[in-house]
Amino acid sequence: MVRTKKIYRQHLLQGAFQLIVEQGFEQFHARNIAKKMACSTQPIYREFQTLQEYKQAASTYILEKVEQAIQLSETTTLSELTENICSYAQQVPKEFQRFFLMDDCCRNEIKQVLRQHFQQLAPAEDFETFWYYTLGKAAVKSFEKIPKVLAK
């Protein structure tokens, strides 16, 4: 009897995403992801030739999810972009904190994508000021739920 494929590329990317949100890229190892997904490492290496290729695919997956969550393609003003990022931070604080505050690799990639979009919206404005203002405002939003959780 021939085995059927049960774990697909999309499942592996979702598993990597969950692991990265919880533990960061420093824990991005085939065994850790396989453990998180309750499978062997075989499906990982069937879909990706190397761990580096898997890591790059996971980075792309994260960027796409963040862009979709902050509605980047639909944003037409800087204030709207700031509010969308703050809303993302408030709705999924763990993701925001991991990707925007904790993980250098993700933060730098997200910053570059936002810089390109920013330059289309307001080419004469200072991106760094916008970035730190928005990052600070969103960080506050992401930590607003923490005292409520600790109080329980």
pLDDT band at 1 (very low <50, low <70, confident <90, very high): low
- List, for residues 45-104, the tens digit of each pLDDT value: 999 999 999 999 999 999 999 999 999 999 999 999 999 999 999 999 999 999 999 999
Cβ–Cβ < 8 Å for 44, 66: no
Q: Do 47 and 82 have their domain in common?
A: no
**pTM for the complete prediction?**
0.86
- Asked whether the beta carbons of 122 and 78 are under 8 A apart, the reply is yes
Could you report the per-residue pLDDT of 91-106, keeping only the tens digit for each? Answer: 999 999 999 999 998 9
- Tell me which residue range forms the domain holding 45: 9-58
CA 73 to chain centre: 16
Amino acid at 123: P
Query: Does one domain contain both 101 and 33?
Result: no
Do 74 and 147 fall within a single domain?
A: yes
Q: Residue 70 has what DSSP assignment?
A: T
- CATH, residue 24: 1.10.10
Residue 140 and residue 105 in one domain: yes
